[in-house]
Amino acid sequence: MEVEDGAKLCFPQLLNTSCRKPLSPWPQTVTIVFYSISLITVALNLLIIISISHFRQLHIPTNILLLSLAVSDLLVGLLLMPVEVLRKTSCWFLGDFVCSVYTLISVNITSSSVGTIVLISVDRYVAICDPLQYTTKVTGKRVKLCVCLCWFCSIFYSLLFLKDVPTQPGRYQSCYGACVFFYDPISLTVDLVLSFIVPVTVIVALYLRIFAVAVSQARAIRSHITAVTLQHSVTPKAKKSELKAARNLGVLIVVFLIFFCPYYAVSLVSESLVNASSASYVLFVFYCNSGLNPVIYAFLYPWFRKAVKLIVTLQILQPGSCETNML
- pLDDT digits 0-9 by tens, 78-136: 999 999 888 888 888 888 788 888 888 998 998 999 999 999 999 989 988 888 888 89
The answer to whether 84 and 287 have CB atoms below 8 angstroms apart is: yes
Which domain CATH number covers 253?
Answer: 1.20.1070.10
Q: Please state, as a whole number, how many other Cβ atoms lie within 10 Å of the Cβ of residue 236.
A: 16
Q: How many domains does the chain have?
A: 1
The answer to whether 66 and 53 have CB atoms below 8 angstroms apart is: no
Domain contains 73:
yes
- pLDDT the model gives residue 139: 93
Domain contains 184:
yes
pTM confidence score: 0.85
DSSP 224: T
Q: Give the pLDDT confidence of 115-130 residue by residue, as tens digits.
A: 999 999 999 899 888 8
Domain contains 3:
no
Domain contains 13:
no
Q: What is the identity of the amino acid at 272?
A: S
In the chain, the largest separation of any two C-alpha atoms, in whole Å, equals 91
Domain contains 89:
yes
Domain contains 15:
no
DSSP 270-312: -TTTS-HHHHHHHHHHHHHHHHHHHHHHHHH-HHHHHHHHHHH
Domain contains 16:
no
The answer to whether 109 and 76 have CB atoms below 8 angstroms apart is: yes
Domain contains 9:
no
Distance CA 280, CA 272 (A): 15
The answer to whether 90 and 22 have CB atoms below 8 angstroms apart is: yes
Q: Please state, as a whole number, how many other Cβ atoms lie within 10 Å of the Cβ of residue 22.
A: 16
The answer to whether 176 and 18 have CB atoms below 8 angstroms apart is: yes
Q: Kindly provide the b/e burial profile for residues 273-287, where b requires at least 16 CB atoms within 10 angstroms of the residue's own CB.
A: eeeeeebbbbbbebb
181 pLDDT more than 90: no
| Domain extent at residue 159 | 31-320
H or E segment at 48? helix 28-54
Range in 39-53, 63-77, 161-175, 296-310 with the lowest mean pLDDT: 161-175
